Amino acid sequence: MSAPVITIDGPTASGKGTVAEKLARTLGWAWLDSGALYRLCALQAQREGVDLDDEERVAQIARALRVRFAQGCVELDGHDVTDVLRDESVGNAASRVAVLPAVREALLALQRGFRVAPGLVADGRDMGTVVFPDAELKVFLTASVESRAERRYKQLIEKGFSAKLPDLLRDLQQRDARDANRAVAPLRPAEDAIVIDSTHLDVDATVERVLKAHHARRRRAC
Ligand code: CDP
């Protein structure tokens, strides 16, 4: 029997990462931040001077990724890249390499390797549709584009990055369009996903909703 999985997919800055991390901590399960893997590929490509549209070379980078997630930090080749990974330029570059089918294929096995007992919470765009189609609970977390831009703005300012709200809003809209319209693994809710609109919900209230759905599903399965 494979370990159970809860997937949380949704558009950029919908709060999936924060919700997924908190949920994983509450349940004592592992957490996969799949967006970090796309960010790492983009970062490494930029560092090696590889064109972000060069599918074969970026896929090679994806296959050779030496990544370690430990205590809230991400290490690439043994170096801490946690902060630089959250930079908006890396996020935008990630959404460009994420359209490349060979890159997505290269990251599949790596992502599935995170499925360990007692369970996994995985967040991203295609966790419920492609990577873990047999997940026991699938959540699609969304929020209005304006509230997502405001959240991202606050997050960046708190971390000491400079940011402008109108620029963020424009970038988010571009990223939404790129994620939703790509040919491979486009952003969309799985058919069996529950949709949660968090425009008017804070992190704790959102985690509560997911936990309620998780417990209800487990009760039904008994
Ligand atoms: O937090 P944000 O949505 O900005 O970024 P992220 O979740 O770290 O993901 C960065 C980029 O990777 C996204 O814009 C997506 O284009 C891509 N991605 C993807 O295609 N599939 C995933 N499972 C996760 C991320």
185 vs 26 pLDDT, higher one:
26
Protein residue with least CA distance to atom 3, ligand 1 = 12
What's the 209 CA to ligand 1 centre distance in angstroms? 23
Q: Residue 14: CB partners within 8 Å, gap ≥ 6? A: 141, 142, 143, 148, 198
pLDDT in tens, 34-69: 999 999 999 999 999 999 999 999 999 999 999 999
Map tokens 């029997």 to a residue: 1
Nearest to 144, CA basis, from 105, 210, 201: 201
- Amino acid, res. 210: V
Pairing of strands 73-76, 67-70: antiparallel
Decide whether any atom of ligand 1 lies within 6 Å of the 94 Cβ. Answer: yes
Decide whether any atom of ligand 1 lies within 6 Å of the 90 Cβ. Answer: no
Protein residue with least CA distance to atom 7, ligand 1 = 35
Decide whether any atom of ligand 1 lies within 6 Å of the 98 Cβ. Answer: yes
What's the 189 CA to ligand 1 centre distance in angstroms? 15
> With bands split at pLDDT 50, 70 and 90, how would you rate the model's confidence at 159?
confident
C-alpha separations of 125 from 107, 153, 154, 188 in Å: 13, 21, 23, 8
Q: Which residues sit opposite 5 in a β-bridge?
A: 120
> With bands split at pLDDT 50, 70 and 90, how would you rate the model's confidence at 1?
confident
Query: What pLDDT, on the 0 to 100 scale, is given for residue 221?
Result: 84
Q: How far is CA 111 from the centre of its chain?
A: 11
Q: What CA–CA distance (Å, rounded) separates 73 from 68?
A: 8
> With bands split at pLDDT 50, 70 and 90, how would you rate the model's confidence at 87?
confident
What's the 74 CA to ligand 1 centre distance in angstroms? 16
pTM, 2 dp: 0.92
Decide whether any atom of ligand 1 lies within 6 Å of the 15 Cβ. Answer: no
Give the domain 5-217 fold.
Rossmann fold (3.40.50)
The answer to whether the CB of 185 falls within 8 A of the CB of 127 is no
Domains of the chain, residue spans: 5-217
Decide whether any atom of ligand 1 lies within 6 Å of the 179 Cβ. Answer: yes
Query: What pLDDT, on the 0 to 100 scale, is given for residue 94?
Result: 95
Q: Which residues sit opposite 142 in a β-bridge?
A: 197
Q: What CA–CA distance (Å, rounded) separates 11 from 178?
A: 11
What's the 80 CA to ligand 1 centre distance in angstroms? 20
- DSSP per position, 123-167: EESSIIIII-TT-SEEEEEE--HHHHHHHHHHHHHHTT----HHH
Q: Which helix (H) or strand (E) holds 102?
A: helix 101-112
Protein residue with least CA distance to atom 9, ligand 1 = 35
Protein residue with least CA distance to atom 8, ligand 1 = 35
